[in-house]
Amino acid sequence: MSLAVLCSSGWAQTFSSAPIRTPSAAEIATPPMPYYDAEQALQGVYRHRLPALAKAFEQSSAQLVSRTEAHCQGQAPLAELRRQWQQTLVHWQTLSSPELGPLVARRSLREIDFWPTRERLLRQALEKAPQTLAEMERVGSPAKGFPALERLLTTGPGSALAPATCHYAGLVAQGIEAEARTLNTALAALAQKDWSESPNDAASAFAEWINQWLGGLERLRWAHIEKPIQTHRTTGAPSGQPVAFPRLTREANLADWRAQWQSLQAMARLRPGQYAAPPVPGEALIPIEALLIGKGQLALAERWAQAVDRAGADLAALTLQSTDNALLATSQRMKALTVLYQNEVAAALDVPMGFSSADGD
């Protein structure tokens, strides 16, 4: 068994994508789900969800830096560094799906996960051989971040990085860690925010959350899964040439997609036990399904839960051998979720973004 497969299965133990059973209407009805307001929903996201994820990402990125240094000193094999890269990527995707608050303001995704990497810029950056993080600021995003680091770790010759490449890889890892540290600090501060004291901030942040959840779904569905296949099929790519998904190996892509989905799902669906013990305002993440039920939208909540579960089941069924057609079928399932969300769910949460709501085109 390859190291990559081991890595993937190890990840799967931590982030199970098994679908949640859809509750019956009776289960939904008793006990009654409380009505949650926007401030409580934001408290759930910013106090009980994102800080822990940001902390985990920072810790993992610190390990990425230390593993890179160890490899450069001949004390860690390249495979170990690749494994750490993937673990850190999973923590990043868990935090950034969807991008919220400081991730949006800082444009963190562009800063540390710019894709596709521009080979020419990466070569130029390696030739310039920056020595410090300050010098790395003059290197463009397309030659930094997770995708550039993966390229360095995956496509080079031999079982160890050359010293110059290793030094550059270390700086890229340090850049990821610096962003992770800044995000952790910013999100720790937001965890203390009393949203009820600033209704305008709360309204804006709630709308951002609802909008960005869809943005996260579309990044996964379209940008990461379907678009690479459609592009490959419609641009006359030579047969045998692999589809250019964001990550270089199917293992990494699968782990990435599942991490994104897991995080989106956590914000979308109640956990099974929460029908009997609804999330307590101020003490837990309040997922979108709970918001719908709390607003009396029982039928919509049930359809929402079923649509989320269908998409989750499709994603969970993907394997390293899944064909492009299977991926497109999964994307189609997710597109149904997109349509339901933008046409009905968001409107029910008073954040209209529907196809016909004339939202600015």
Q: Does 358 bind another protein (CB under 8 A)?
A: yes
State which of residues 34, 51, 156, 215 lies at the interface with another protein (CB under 8 A).
215
Extract the tokens encoding 220. 């996964």
Of 121-129, 131-139, 179-187, 224-232, the segment contacting another protein by CB under 8 A is 224-232
Q: What CA–CA distance (Å, rounded) separates 300 from 137? A: 48
Between residue 109 and residue 148, which ones bind another protein under the rule CB under 8 A?
109-110, 118
Based on the shown chain and the rule CB under 8 A, indicate whether residue 336 belongs to the binding site for another protein.
yes
Among 248, 224, 230, CA closest to 117: 248
5 vs 52, 160, 229, 295, 315, CA distance in Å?
A: 27, 20, 23, 44, 17
Neighbours of 284 (CB within 10 A): 19
* Per CB under 8 A, 222 contacts another protein: yes
Q: Does 93 bind another protein (CB under 8 A)?
A: no
Direct distance between the N- and C-terminal alpha carbons of the chain, in angstroms, rounded to an integer:
51
Using the contact rule CB under 8 A, the part of the chain among 87-95, 129-137, 185-193, 350-358 near another protein is 350-358
User: Which of 59, 211, 306, 322 is close enough to bind another protein by CB under 8 A?
Assistant: 211
Stretch that binds another protein, among 13-21, 32-40, 177-185, 223-231 (CB under 8 A): 223-231
> Is 184 in contact with 55 (CB distance < 8 Å)?
yes
Output the CA torsion sign for 270, 274, 280, 283: negative
Pick between residue 69 and residue 314 the one whose CB is nearest to another protein.
314
Spatial neighbors of 313 by CB under 8 A, at least 6 apart, are: 19
| Beta-carbon count within 10 A of 361 CB | 3
Q: How far is the CB of 336 from another protein (least distance, A)?
A: 5
Q: How far is the CB of 347 from another protein (least distance, A)?
A: 14
Distance, in Å, from the CA atom of 297 to the CA atom of 290, rounded to the nearest integer, reads: 10
Q: How far is the CB of 145 from another protein (least distance, A)?
A: 14
Choices 102-110, 166-174, 185-193, 268-276 (CB under 8 A): range interacting with another protein: 102-110
The H or E element spanning position 85 is helix 78-96
Q: Could you say whether residue 179 binds another protein (CB under 8 A)?
A: no
- List residues binding another protein (CB under 8 A): 99, 103-104, 107, 109-110, 118, 207-208, 211-212, 214-215, 218, 222, 226-227, 230-231, 234-235, 332, 335-336, 339, 353, 355-356, 358-361
